[in-house]
Structures are given as C-alpha cells and as structure tokens.
Structure 1
Amino acid sequence: MKKEIIAALFLAATLPVFAQKPVEKGLQSISQESAKATIGFLASDELEGREAGTRGGRIAAEYIVSQLRLMNIQPLDESYYQPFEAYRKERQQKGRWQVHPDSIALIKGGVHKRLNLKNILAKIEGKNPNEYVIVGAHYDHLGIDPTLVGDCIYNGADDNASGVSAVLQLAKAFLVCGQQPERTIIFAFWDGEESGLLGSSYFVQNCQFIQSVKGYLNYDMIGRNTNEAKPQLVDYFYTQAHPAFGDWLKGDIQKYKLKLEPIYHAWDKPVGGSDNGSFAKAGIPIIWYHTNAHPDYHQPSDEASRINWEKVVEITKASYLNLWRLANEKSY
C-alpha cells in the first residue's frame, strides 16, 4: 500500500509536466539568466564594441557559434559562417559600404577600401524542407573611439546584444519543445548592420531559396525603455498585408499574461530602420521588435547594467510565440 501511495503522489506531481504542450515547454526555457550571460559577454569592454571587421567582432562571432554548437544546432550549410566582402571608396570621397556586385565593380575602379565580414547562419530543419522562416539580429556595433574623453567603448548592450540573446534563446526553445517545426527555421546573426545593413543585404541577394522564405522576424534593441514611466512599451512593426501578425501578439499577451504594452505599427512595406528592410524589399512578410531610441542609443553608455531584464525576457517570449506560428501555421 505504501508503494502505491508513493507512486500515486509521484504521478500527481509529474502530470502537469507530461501534459504540457510543446509550445509551452519551449516558452518556459526562456530566462533572464540566459539573457544576462549573452548580453553581458557581448557588451563587455573586452570586445571593444564589436565593430564589423575588427577583432572584437570576430570574438563575438566565435562566441555565438560556440553557443550554437553547444546546443547542437546545425549550420545552414557546411559552415556556420557566411563570409562576404564589403567595399567603399576611400574615406575622403562620398559613399557607403556596398555589397552588391554592380556597386563593387564601380568602386574597384578607383582607390577603395575593403571589409571582410561574416554572417552566422544555423537551422532547425522542418518537416517541409522547402519552406523557410528566418529570425535574425545583428551582432556588430560601433567599436571604439580612442579620441573620446572618458569611456571610449561603444558596448552596444541594447544595440544589439539584446537581439542576439533573443535569437539564441529561441533556438534553444525550439529544441526544448521537442517538436519538429513544419518549416525550416533559420537562426541568423548579421554582420555589418551598423555600416548599412550589409550582412542581411548580402544574404538576400545571394539566397537561392529567397522565394521560399515565408516570413522574417527581426530584433534590434529590445532591452531598454524610451519612456521610463512606461517600461513595458514596445514598438511592434509588421507587414500590413498580414493582419494576423497583430492578432497573434494581442492574443498571446492575454493568454500568457505577458508584461508588454505594444504599439502596433502595421506598415505597407516596412523597409526602414534595421535588417527587416532587406527582407521587406524582397517582398517577404516581416515582424520587427524594437524599443526605440533612448539617451544611451549609439553612446558608450549603452551598457549591460542599464538593461531592463524583464523586458528582454517578455519580448523574447512573445516573439517565440510569433515564430512558432510562422514556422507551423499553414497560412497567415
């Protein structure tokens, strides 16, 4: 009898775990501890602001790849890295960094500069390997300015170590959930965003299956508050032709009691602001989380100590639920 009572008590204690839905298993894996680990490392002084093409940027890339390997998330191709080059005219001439072959050909006709950069691309393969959704964030920032008086490192904790932390947490959540998605999910970490959306532009230009990408979810700054009196505010941009994207978030906030107060921006073609623009120009539906500018935006004071950790986690949870639907619903 004693053994039967113990067995019954054990079953009662574990029943909620067994009954838990896959989507909720993944949701519960998202934590402040994981966010703090990633943002703390990427925004540390030792990485010197992660400017594209610098030693700090390369260390950041190695860290991200190490986390993907630790989770056993497979690379999109043979390597996690997608190397590419960007060119621009020498510094006394007007112009921006370019990755398009036609622009590069023109620039090479004169005195020019070159950057060696690399995106990081990983995947969880779906049941339908011919359809894709992508979640991405840029991992570069503004580097270091030794001529600044005082703090000379642009740590980029919010911009965009916070976004990188979310992409890594979503990768883990989809593993933890234990269910293969219908569509293949690509986890992307873009290089060179601060220099002109270089990494995401290069990817879109060279992606052989771009017409099979059904949606793109973007993060750029999800850890701060523009209005300190309303810390739960978040700007939620999405493609206007897909009103379901707005309905998803409204429903999930209510169902899961997420501590967010979104400002909904339905945009005909959301091409501005961040790496979402590269995908919107290609006609791909997008969702973009952004907490807008704040006094530390593009300043050395954008440090991990100023991050709103609860906000990072709540946005990561909300976007995980977005990605779940992007990857699994037949139509939206």
Structure 2
Amino acid sequence: MLRSTLALALLASAVPASAQEAPQTAAPAAEAAPAYPDLPLEQAAMRAHVMFLADDTMQGREAGTEEYDIAANYVAARFYANGLRPAGDNGGFLQRVPLMNYKPAEHGSFVFTRRGAEPVTLSFGEDFVPAGDPTSETTTVDAPLVFVGWGIHAPSEGRDDYRGVDVRGKIVVFLNGVPEELHSEIRASLGSANAKADMAGRLGAVGAIAINNPGPRSLPFAAQAANWQRSRTTWVNPDGSGHVDTPQTPVLGTLSREGAAKLFQGARMPWEQVQAAAADSNARLRAMNLPGRLAVTLKTERELFESANVAGLLPGSDPAVADEVVVLTAHLDHVGVGRPVEGDSIYNGAMDNAVGIASLIEEASRFQKSGERPRRSILFLAVTAEEKGLVGADYFAENPSLPGKTLVANVNLDMPILTYRFEDVIAFGADRSTLGPIVRRAAQNIGVGFSPDPMPEQSLFVRSDHYRFVQQGIPSVFLWPGHAGPGAEGTNHFFQHHYHRPSDQLDQAPVIDWEAGVRFIEVNYQIAREIADADARPVWNAGDFFGTLYEGPMAR
C-alpha cells in the first residue's frame, strides 16, 4: 500500500519552502565543500530537491518501499505548490501502479519428441534454463517447432526471418542476438527475447525459445544457468496476471548449443551448419520447420507489490487543442540498498535521477512564474520502476490517468550529467520526428549547439522511459547535456565512477554544477513551451521505422 500520512506530507512540504529562502552559508570544513553553499535562488531550489531525494534517509528510493512513497509525496507536494492540478487516481496526484516480481519457481520440464524416436528429456543447466511467465503460475505448451533464424521480422529494413514458414500454433526457436547491419536503435528494439516473442505472437506462435549464441552482446550460457532465478518485474493486469504484450506467446527459456543440437536432429539444415553460419551476425538463415515437437512445463513464482507514478497537469488555455497533452517525464525511483562499496550500501541516485526530478519540478515552476498558460495541456509525470525495466512509464502509457485526452509528445529527463558547463545538447530520437527542429531552436536560444548521438552503440533511444511512449506511437525525445568541450570527459567520469554506485550522491566529485542545472531547465522549458504552443502536434518523419512500427502520426 502507498503510505501517505500528515507527518510525511508536512515533511515533504517543508524542505522546498525553506529552499526558496535566501540560503545560509555554512562554514566549510577544511577539505570539503560547504554543506549549504551560497547559491542564487533557482540553483538553491534545484539543489534542495536533490538534498531531500538523494539523502540517506531515502534509502535509494527503490520502487515499492516506504522511502519511495515518501519521495512520491514530496514530488506531489511540489507539483501542488507550483500550481499543477492532480492528474492521478481519485482526484489525487498519485497514480497507483500494481507491480509483480516474477521468476522461475523450479527447473521445469522440456521434452522433445520426434516421430519414430524415443522422447528426449532435456537437462536443466546443460541443455536449457527456464523462463518465468508472469501471466500464470503454471505454463504448459506442447507444439511443433519452427526455426526462424534471428527471429527478426522487419521487412522495411530488408530482414524477414519468417519468410517461407507458417508459425501459427507452433513454438518458434531463434538465435539470440540481432544482425549488426541494422541501425543500433533498431537492433536494441528488436533484439530482446521478449521483443522477438512479441513479434512471433503477432504471427500466431504459441511459445518462443532462444538459442544461446555467444557474442559480445550476450551472456555465456553458464552465466545464464547460474542466474536462472533472477527476478524480473512487470505491471499487473486487472485480472491479476502479469502484463506482457502477447500473453499467448510466452518466452519458455533459453537453450544451450548442446540443447539446440537435440532439437535439430533430422532437420533439413543440420545444427552444425546453423552454428557455423551464426558466427556471422548478418547471416541470412532460412526459416524451417523442425522435425518434432516440444512439451514444456514451467512453474513461476510471483510476488505482488505496489508503487505510484506522480502526475500533475497544467491545463491548456486553447479550447481547440487543450485536450492534447505534452508529457514531460523523469523517473523518481533508484535501485535502493545493495552491495556495500567502501562501507556504503545506499545507492542514493543523486544524478540518476534526483537531478531529473528536480529539473521537472523547477520546469513546472517556470510555467507558473511565466503567468502564461500554454495552448496545449502539459503533464508533469514522475514515474516509478524505471530501474526495473521502464515499468511505471509503460503502465501510464497504456493506462493514462487522463480520460478524454490525447498524448501527443513526450520529452524525457533521465540522468542529465551536470558536472560541467555544457556547450551543446543531445536529444536521442530527435531526428525521427518533427521534435528535432524544436530541440535545435531551444538549444540555439540558450546559446549552445545541438549534436548528433555521440554514443549510437549504447542505443539510448530505447533504454529510458520515453520509449514506452514511442511504443504507443507518440513522438518522443530524451534530452541530455552534450559531449562538446568538457562534456565527453564529464560523462565518461560519471559512468566510470558513479553510475549505479553509492557514490552517486549530493557530494560526489566532481560536484554538481547547479548553474548548468538551471540552464538545462531552461532548454527543457523552451522545448515544452514550443510543443505546447505550436499550431500542429508533433508527427514522425515520413517512413520512420519506429513511427511505422507503432503506427504513430506520420508526416506525409
């Protein structure tokens, strides 16, 4: 249950109020920065939010904990103070998000049968490792098998591994990984077992199995076997089942190469040839029916818990477009308490993502202080369970707490690295929609450049909360300070020394540059303002892969 008491509300409201007063300068320690530096009010306000959210008492703000709920009440109080209207459940700022952790409860059973041969029982840990199924505590599938190469169905990109086979009523078997010739963002969006199972389900398959194909982007099978009970998280449907995109097509597990060889006995293309070809990730492997069927039984352990998104609405002023909503997101959760590093086990998440939340709150403040409501409505949304797989954003994108309104764009703020005076900005996904020119103009207005993605191999466009809006067809961007000047060094230092470590805290070194934080808020404010006041809603560029895949509004 979400915890909301008068004491928590008073605590949440008290901190930012004092932050707006002229801060007092504490006497600095001999070798330490002052605890309360003398900052201009906007910088002090931003720092105050991070002081609260990244304090040790928040215990790392893991979704589902009491400390996360305190943080959610804090953000709700700030939204209210900045003139936003509650846009959550039951007239409040909080949107309840029902969550589920799930993992395999036992080894499961994989039995392969080929006509004229004795059934072959595959061995756990040697031939296969099972997957958990969030939709049911018991999963049974008994069906013919069909091999579909890499399992990629993307005709617009010149790849269709399903060509020539009918997978309806069958279990699809595919190699893990994805062809390197595809764009990195497309690889990331199509390459997971869940994404491949979703595609197989759209084509009628009743189950999906990955074959471990060791490479730079995949774990060795032994490592997967050692971690076979790793827990995953999803949100919960009204019927109590865990949400997946295609529930009729569960991911059943992963095969080792030795396990795969057993399923290929008597196949038109022997396993040895498939294995040799798979050394080239761009290989074109012909789909084929395998000469047998597989009976799979799985048991899944499921644990229900709850967290909340925090939603505050700034209503639009133009009746013609006020029902169109620009969504600004930042994730509120972090990873909680974990393995101690140098005696510290609290993963505070100051940069990831207390700074993003602080930016979101202060952006709302800018709209309030402007005295001019935007034409379209703007939703300020702090989401939960990002660290568990973008789950809170996914829940909102599929269950928006805004009946009768249309979500038209998303701008996401996740872990802006603000230890340097940035000279440019990056917006992952900007070149895919009409949001790109808007971001460029905002950057120009504050006197910085706009740069292309300097880390395309990281596929960041599909790795943060905005991607859940992309999957609903909504043009979206993910904004970051850029790599020009000191940017690359500052970004690399953070990833090497602080990312997902206890040292990501308020007093990390180098220190957070609050002036850069205020400039980052300004560029976000200008982006949101232009989207909300434009005559036309954003659309995907003509023929864009993601806009086409998810059937979003497209430029002609």
After TM superposition, the score normalised by the length of structure 1 is 0.80
Candidates 491, 494, 499, aligned match of 1:297: 499
> What is the number of equivalent residue pairs in this alignment?
297
Could you say which residue in structure 1 is the equivalent of 2:412? Answer: 218
1:329 aligned residue = 534
Paired with 1:30 and 1:315, the residues of 2 have a C-alpha distance of 16
Q: Give the aligned partner of residue 542 of structure 2.
A: none
* Residue from 83, 94, 104 that aligns with 1:72: 83
Paired letter, 2:51:
G
Q: Which amino acid aligns with 2:527?
A: N
Correspondences of 1:271-310 after superposition (within 5 Å): 272-291=462-481, 294-295=495-496, 296-305=498-507, 306-310=511-515
How far off its partner does 1:83 sit?
0.5
Equivalence for 1:5: none
Q: CA deviation at 1:239?
A: 4.0
- Displacement of 1:247: 2.9
Q: List per-residue Cα deviations over 1:134-184 (Å, max 9, x = no partner).
A: 101000001112655411111101000011011111111111111121111
Residues 341, 502 of structure 2: 8 Å contact kept = no
Maintained 8 Å contact 1:270/1:280: no
CA pair 54-287 structure 1, distance change in 2 beyond 3 A: same
Structure-to-structure mapping, 1:55-94, within 5 angstroms: 55-77=66-88, 78-90=91-103, 93-94=229-230
Give per-residue Cα distances to partners, 1:170-211, cap 9 Å, x unaligned: 111111111121111101000110011111000011126698
For 1:264 and 1:61, locate their aligned partners in 2 and report how far apart those are by CA, in whole Å. 34
Q: Partner of 2:524 in structure 1?
A: 319
CA RMSD of aligned residues (A): 3.0
Q: Percent identity, please.
A: 27
Aligned position for 1:99: 235
Do 1:246 and 1:264's aligned partners in 2 also have CA atoms closer than 8 Å? no
Shift of 1:111: 2.6
Equivalent in the alignment of 2:399: 206
- The equivalent residue for 1:236 is 427
Distance 1:219 1:210 in 2: 26
Deviations 1:228-264 (A, max 9, x none): 7x75454322343424x3333333333333xx44423
Whether 2:387 is the aligned partner of 1:169: answer no
Tell me the TM-score normalised to structure 2 length. Answer: 0.49
Give the superposition deviation at 1:287.
2.0
Taking the TM superposition and a 5 Å limit, the aligned residue runs for 1:226-265 are 231-243=422-434, 245-257=435-447, 260-265=448-453
CA distance in 1, matches of 2:404, 2:336: 32
Unaligned runs of 5+ in 1: 1-28
Structure with larger RCO (C-alpha < 8 A, sep 6+): 1
Measured in 1, the distance between the counterparts of 2:345 and 2:423 equals 30
Residue 351 (structure 2) pairs with residue 158 (structure 1): yes
- Aligned partner of 2:312 in structure 1 is 122
Q: For the pair shown, which has the larger CA radius of gyration, 1 or 2?
A: 2
Letter in 1 for 2:309: N
CA contact (8 A) 1:280 1:286 kept: yes
> What amino acid maps onto 1:131 in structure 2?
E
CA distance in 2, matches of 1:209, 1:240: 30
More helix by share: 1
Distance 1:104 1:236, change over 3 A: closer
Residue 11 of structure 1 corresponds to which residue in structure 2?
none
Q: Secondary structure at the match of 2:344?
A: coil
What letter matches 1:297 in structure 2?
Y
Pair 1:188 & 2:381 matched: yes
Contact 2:428 2:461 in 1 (8 A): no
Cα distance change, pair 89–250 in 1 and its aligned pair in 2 (3 A):
closer
What is the CA–CA distance in structure 2 between the aligned matches of 1:71 and 1:250, rounded to whole Å?
Answer: 28
Matches within 5 A, 1:139-150: 139-145=332-338, 147-150=340-343
> Residues of 2 paired with 1:273 and 1:104: CA distance?
19
Gaps of 5+ in 2: 1-39, 105-227, 251-298, 482-490, 539-556
Report the alpha carbon displacement of residue 88 of structure 1 after superposing the two structures with TM: 2.5
Letter in 1 for 2:77: S
User: 1:114 and 1:100, CA in 2 relative to 1: closer, same or farther beyond 3 A?
Assistant: closer
Match of 2:519, SS? helix
SS at match of 2:526: helix
> In structure 1, the residue corresponding to 2:45 is in which secondary structure?
helix
Corresponding letter in the other structure for 2:386: E
